[in-house]
Structure 1
């Protein structure tokens, strides 16, 4: 009997009081009523680990690498009391910081990397973190129409607006549970990560049993995901299914048939056209692999086909991210220092998303957002029928995929366009500080202001505290800041606005640092991102023993370029889709891109299939 034939549990806890022996409540897949937790099945080949079952689970509190700095010690965020002095100075308004330091009217390009590097960062972020906002609204706390600080409202003050503020909902509070934590930290308000922090392709499959089943084609008995039943591309390739509740709030072109919001494993799929394109690729890849596995192993059940395909898709997400993406973001030296070679699963490592990673460090990518979305034709020139678009015209607009050429013009634009460069004086494009839109909002929002306010909502310690945490020198003077930023004017603006170095918001401080060689981040964000990625990798208790050595060798043949080749009409790609190259000299035919041979998953019918339950 093959080793990989057993099923094990991965769970999503929504309202539970678990102990280290929680899995003792399970036998044969039965959930006993003594535990109020929601679990779902997934196939893995190692025994279910009994220690710390809540680590990395959905709907649990993000971990704190440093204690929060609430103004009242427990709940009130930084800046809640507007007259309060911090190190002798009032905190500047996030909107003032955005307009005078972060906003940029131009974005230079980075000739080394393609726009795909930017888009993958947002996509994979959605696989590991999602912080829900507080939903409760009462007449005393109408967050859309009030400029008062009344929980859960924490509006951003803007003197130039008639209304006087930008609406802001505080993050939903969660309960922090950690063995050995001090009572002070236990009493502080914590924030939730609503999804699993594992790199497990929950962005494709969802993080709850209900969503998972909604996304599956359960009637087809083929292990595939559900597809759109109204639209497909000209070659008959599927699009994502629509959301269950129709009509949806997504933008429309006002012509012909409605195109509602798409549905996927992550609810943020419709935020932009590149996200929709990546989600569509993975939907098609799952169904392509499931179809091949069914041909190879005709005796496998629909459930086995689905779960075995899901295992492969999860592994491919990890390979692309850890092998091809993260080293480019933090640089090879920081990768070696903070992550290093994989030594196997470590049960002492907590893989949970950290608050500073989700709220600050991994938001470095917002400074790389391009104000223009380029759509390219087969020759990687501006599309003759579907021209380039300003970013704000692409948000929550899935109709542009269906009615304007499918995903191909978007994908070509992602790989065939140089990424926006990052500099201390060219940070946030005006498209995201002045023209951002969100569903059901009546006004534009400022992404930079929202990020700064979110960090204060979570009461993250300041920039200096995190530099100390990472073993970096503190900023004690203007000269120190000038040395770190390498832009005297920006350094002077920051210190003049904040008054004291300890007041600088960590997201701003990390953004303006001079980039490390071969990276897209400075030393602070390289440290924080590296630590988180190492924890996610080494604390993943489901990662070992899943594949045979032959299967692992095949998986390592995979690339983002192969994903594009197999699931779109694009026939020429760069060998590494994250690297920017000139067309056609730096492109190769899809025939030259290595692919994964699924013959490595061949299993004789006598072996029984991998979906037998552990007795």
Structure 2
């Protein structure tokens, strides 16, 4: 007999109360004018009937039931003696070393590095899975940095040593924080199974600019200026007086710093991962400046608006621009125009029956396709889009958690030019993740270098993701039964042989690896499985969002027409010294032939937001 047959729904409700799980939000609190006009910071009340759908600190949704070794919470690989389809699972580090690690990358001259960086940026708007709260869990007294045993919440990545070395026998790994049992689940087994949290809002709402709690949103605002703007750095500006992000309040921070001169702390933004790399810092800085630029104009146009209205109306515009750039300019390039039409299709209005919550497989596997397109070098270019004479290219690991390089090495322009003016690396089955992220990945608070590929594989097992074949079936694709089937899906028989040699059985293949090695579809950057999963997620993010920019009553027709004129190129033109740029900065083109002057890039006219009457008491 399984546990679900022994427990009633009343038992589960009592367990939830004993665990001090928060109650679900009552739909009654979603009444009122403010919730009609503006998003909440946490995403709660976007869907009035299901207020927690898509909200921060709710569970990632399951499109397929989790697969745990004990049926409830132990990940695949937890018990080393356990067989799967008659075989032991291969250790993630072996898969990384034998299949994934690559010493070189070829480039895709269709697209720029900015396409890769926008993917990481927009992922940080939609998903963030927090790890177990502390290094030492109070119920087991285990420090995950010091143990190589599988003891909750630690699930260390075993390292296979080929010769005598002083290396650790494992890489530390904290399991993702579990969600509380959710009472509204229709399936008792799913209620008992371990679910993982999405700490931020699932919506494409620019929460990485504004934060996902009211407290964080307040902390990011310039409340003393009474102007609806965001707070800026009060210590440094760029050479033309443009703003940088503010620093974190807790100092000294964990970021690296230049040994000479004034210390530069970690930057603060709506998302805590802002300092991971220079490209992320550059994009966050861009949107901080764009918010303040728009807020200033709106205040001039509507002098009667309160600072709160200026802030909320600007936030609404910035959110719309994130949606337009992502869905119009980014997603069709990732999954291909044909599959975009199949899986996303034309917008037909807000659908309150659609749950916009991020899915577990999207967050943990499908949207990590971009890790196969990370370059080993970070390019920094000058005004002629050549290697910068003062700030040369950097090995990627030298750019991690280094905000000082923005402040002291030319601002965001050299990095942005590098993103626009470099061709994007492309993934292929025999060239997946560069050694910069499999051998020298820097993770804050980790005492050793980490391996991104191993982390992804272990995270998928931690989350109980079903295997590659289950997801192929979910998407209506043929299951892989033989080496010939796999070779056809991968397009490289040698790689298919390596995979089956390690996994022994097609049903054991991890979904992230399977999706990553599939043949890239023409006109896209993914294979058929990830195109399906990304497409389905993007459609639900759009259709289940009451505040989607095209939804009825969110913007006037005139405002929508103005929003559509905007582009990432225009935002770069308006907030940096870059004055020549491709019309579509996601497409790679040689300088100067493929570039136009900023004066030729259309602008959005904010006059469409002129309003004669007051917003009331906001």
TM score, norm. by length of structure 2: 0.93
2:180 and 2:54 map into 1 onto residues whose CA distance is 14
What is the number of equivalent residue pairs in this alignment?
Answer: 586
Q: CA deviation at 1:17?
A: 1.4
Q: Find out whether 1:446 has 2:430 as its counterpart.
A: no
- The answer to whether the Cα contact below 8 Å between 1:434 and 1:445 also exists between their aligned partners in 2 is yes
1:200 and 1:587 map into 2 onto residues whose CA distance is 30
Tell me the residue number matched to 1:489: 494
1:602 and 1:54 map into 2 onto residues whose CA distance is 34
Q: CA deviation at 1:42?
A: 6.8
The one of 387, 394, 397 aligned to 1:389: 394
2:51 and 2:617 map into 1 onto residues whose CA distance is 23
Q: Provide, for residues 563-596 of structure 1, a one-character-per-residue CA deviation record: whole Å limited to 9, x for no partner.
A: 1000000000000000000000000000000010
The one of 433, 436, 448 aligned to 2:438: 433
Matches within 5 A, 1:33-48: 41=40
2:34 and 2:596 map into 1 onto residues whose CA distance is 48
Q: CA deviation at 1:612?
A: 4.2
2:360 and 2:110 map into 1 onto residues whose CA distance is 31
Tell me the residue number matched to 2:14: none
Tell me the residue number matched to 2:592: 584
1:460 and 1:233 map into 2 onto residues whose CA distance is 45
The one of 246, 249, 253 aligned to 2:258: 253
Q: 1:178 to 1:538 in 2, by over 3 A?
A: farther
Q: Tell me, what secondary structure is at the counterpart of 1:556?
A: helix
Tell me the residue number matched to 1:228: 233
Q: CA deviation at 1:141?
A: 1.3
Q: Tell me, what secondary structure is at the counterpart of 2:569?
A: helix
Q: Structure 1: state its 5+ residue gaps.
A: 1-13, 31-38
Tell me the residue number matched to 1:546: 554
1:458 and 1:336 map into 2 onto residues whose CA distance is 30
Q: CA deviation at 1:140?
A: 3.5
Tell me the residue number matched to 1:34: none
The one of 172, 186, 201 aligned to 1:181: 186
Q: CA deviation at 1:15?
A: 5.9
Q: Tell me, what secondary structure is at the counterpart of 1:111?
A: strand
Tell me the residue number matched to 1:207: 212
The one of 317, 339, 357 aligned to 1:352: 357
Q: Find out whether 1:52 has 2:50 as its counterpart.
A: yes
Q: Tell me, what secondary structure is at the counterpart of 2:142?
A: coil
Q: CA deviation at 1:178?
A: 6.5
Q: Provide, for residues 476-519 of structure 1, a one-character-per-residue CA deviation record: whole Å limited to 9, x for no partner.
A: 00000000101011000001100000000000000000011100
The one of 591, 604, 608 aligned to 1:596: 604
Q: CA deviation at 1:75?
A: 0.8
Q: Find out whether 1:282 has 2:280 as its counterpart.
A: no
Q: Structure 2: state its 5+ residue gaps.
A: 1-19
Q: Find out whether 1:21 has 2:22 as its counterpart.
A: no
Q: CA deviation at 1:422?
A: 1.0
Tell me the residue number matched to 2:3: none
Q: Provide, for residues 377-425 of structure 1, a one-character-per-residue CA deviation record: whole Å limited to 9, x for no partner.
A: 0000000000000000000000000000000000000000000011000
Q: Provide, for residues 224-264 of structure 1, a one-character-per-residue CA deviation record: whole Å limited to 9, x for no partner.
A: 00000000000000000000101101001110000000000
Tell me the residue number matched to 1:332: 337
Q: Provide, for residues 276-318 of structure 1, a one-character-per-residue CA deviation record: whole Å limited to 9, x for no partner.
A: 0000000000000000001111111111100000000000000
Q: CA deviation at 1:183?
A: 0.8
Q: CA deviation at 1:50?
A: 2.6
Q: Tell me, what secondary structure is at the counterpart of 1:190?
A: coil
Matches within 5 A, 1:267-346: 267-346=272-351
2:67 and 2:591 map into 1 onto residues whose CA distance is 51
Q: 1:352 to 1:471 in 2, by over 3 A?
A: same
- The answer to whether the Cα contact below 8 Å between 2:336 and 2:524 also exists between their aligned partners in 1 is yes
Q: 1:414 to 1:598 in 2, by over 3 A?
A: same
- The answer to whether the Cα contact below 8 Å between 1:428 and 1:448 also exists between their aligned partners in 2 is yes
Q: Find out whether 1:191 has 2:199 as its counterpart.
A: no
2:42 and 2:132 map into 1 onto residues whose CA distance is 34
- The answer to whether the Cα contact below 8 Å between 1:58 and 1:197 also exists between their aligned partners in 2 is yes
Q: Tell me, what secondary structure is at the counterpart of 1:112?
A: strand
2:185 and 2:154 map into 1 onto residues whose CA distance is 32
Tell me the residue number matched to 2:515: 510
Q: CA deviation at 1:322?
A: 0.2
- The answer to whether the Cα contact below 8 Å between 2:275 and 2:403 also exists between their aligned partners in 1 is yes
Q: Find out whether 1:477 has 2:482 as its counterpart.
A: yes
2:185 and 2:68 map into 1 onto residues whose CA distance is 21
The one of 560, 567, 572 aligned to 2:568: 560
Q: Provide, for residues 518-571 of structure 1, a one-character-per-residue CA deviation record: whole Å limited to 9, x for no partner.
A: 000000000000000000000002233111000000000010100100000000
1:367 and 1:343 map into 2 onto residues whose CA distance is 34
Q: Find out whether 1:131 has 2:129 as its counterpart.
A: yes
Tell me the residue number matched to 1:172: 177
Q: 1:143 to 1:582 in 2, by over 3 A?
A: same
2:507 and 2:46 map into 1 onto residues whose CA distance is 44
- The answer to whether the Cα contact below 8 Å between 1:196 and 1:207 also exists between their aligned partners in 2 is yes
TM score, norm. by length of structure 1: 0.93
Q: 1:141 to 1:529 in 2, by over 3 A?
A: same
Q: CA deviation at 1:376?
A: 0.2
Q: Find out whether 1:361 has 2:366 as its counterpart.
A: yes
Tell me the residue number matched to 1:10: none
2:436 and 2:352 map into 1 onto residues whose CA distance is 44
